Amino acid sequence: MTPINKVIFEKRTDIKPIWIMRQAGRYLPEFREIRSKNKDFIKLCLNPILSTEITLQPLKRFDFDAAIIFSDILMLPYGLDQNVEFKKNFGPVLGQLDLDKISKMKEIDFVERVKQVYKAIKNVSNNDILKNKNTIGFVGAPWTILVYMINQQSPKKQLKKDFFENKDLINNVLLIIEKFLKIHIKNQIDSGANVIQLFDSWAGLLKEKDLPYYIYNPTLNLVKFVKSLNIPVICFPRNIKDYKKYCDFIKPDAICIDYEVDPVKIEKEINIPIQGGMDPKVLLTDRETLKKEAKRYLDIFKDHPYIFNLGHGVLPETDPGMMDYLVKTVKNY
């Protein structure tokens, strides 16, 4: 059994496995070299040879306990034939949402559009470097995917003023998203992913009264689906106001926390395995600060099943030397 599975299934507290969100990415010079020659991000995600190489890059450098496939949550709208492109210094831009078109999307056509992701997962999971480590597949949670598909860009600036107006559109799109997320998850698992993480990046946008409809119910359906396939599921509802309520309702196998939340409170309130929490900006400081902060999380969760991770993705300006120091600090704890 892998270290992550021991923490999730056996609730082991004597080991603290580590992997990092966006560990395969922009802070590594070897990734930047590939990226400089491959300007189209979606095409890069759909290149199984390169995405395999990128996924394995951090494991060749650091003693991580898992690989997370180099892909993107927006593979879902892309698979549904909504236009998706990434603009430099802006982020993702999506085409107009055509409900009629996505309603008619067949499973076979969706899979055809994204099958290279599954090929990459197969390559990664069969690599010797993954011996006794996990291959993590992932999707965006239904609410976050809905936000991108209707808003057509990151809601960092704001949601469209009329976002919630067309209830019929929202209801229909949510059902389509759920259907195809299940297809996407199942194909990732069939290709060798042995953990699934659900990223709800925009969970923090909603008011308390809207959580059951947009987050709790659709996410619960997915969590039950992943569990039915005997694969552990980790949820990351970033900036959600009440992690305890979320866990009580959805019951994921593990919960990933963001860096805005008090880990002491989380440790007291939540009894399932915890992942993450440390602010990625700590990696931009110095070794002493990094060690102190990493140790703070490890101490808080000393007697709690815990997977070390950050409270968000690693920042592009992070020094790989600091990452190396972090991994060794966690391993030597």
Q: What is the pLDDT of residue 2?
A: 98
149 band by pLDDT with thresholds 50, 70 and 90: very high
Mean pLDDT of 226-249: 97
Mean pLDDT of 134-159: 94
- Residue 255 near residue 274, CB atoms below 8 Å: yes
Our count of domains for the chain comes to 1
The CATH number given to whatever domain includes residue 244 is: 3.20.20.210
- Residue 170 pLDDT exceeds 80: yes
> Domain containing 113: what range?
19-254
Q: Facing residues of 331 across strands?
A: none
Mean pLDDT of 231-247: 97
Q: What is the pLDDT of residue 287?
A: 98
Nearest to 249 by CA among 221, 275, 229: 221
- Residue 132 near residue 84, CB atoms below 8 Å: no
Q: Which runs of E-coded beta strand occur in the chain?
A: 66-68, 84-87, 91-94, 134-140, 195-199, 233-236, 254-257, 274-276, 306-307
- Residue 141 pLDDT exceeds 80: yes
Amino acid at 2: T
Q: What is the pLDDT of residue 89?
A: 83
In a domain, 52, yes or no: yes
Write down the mean pLDDT value for the chain. 97
What's the pLDDT tens digit per position in 276-304?
A: 999 999 999 999 999 999 999 999 999 99
**Residue count of the chain:** 333
Q: What is the pLDDT of residue 88?
A: 85
Q: How far is CA 234 from CA 34, 140, 282, in A?
A: 29, 12, 23
Q: What is the pLDDT of residue 254?
A: 98
Q: What is the pLDDT of residue 156?
A: 86
Mean pLDDT of 36-64: 97
311 band by pLDDT with thresholds 50, 70 and 90: very high
Name the helix (H) or strand (E) containing 144.
helix 142-151
Q: What is the pLDDT of residue 263?
A: 98
In a domain, 172, yes or no: yes
Q: What is the pLDDT of residue 314?
A: 98
In a domain, 294, yes or no: no
What's the pLDDT tens digit per position in 64-106?
A: 999 999 999 999 999 999 999 999 888 899 999 999 999 999 9
Mean pLDDT of 224-246: 97
Q: Which residue would you say has higher pLDDT here, 158 or 77?
A: 77
- Residue 158 pLDDT exceeds 80: no
In a domain, 305, yes or no: no
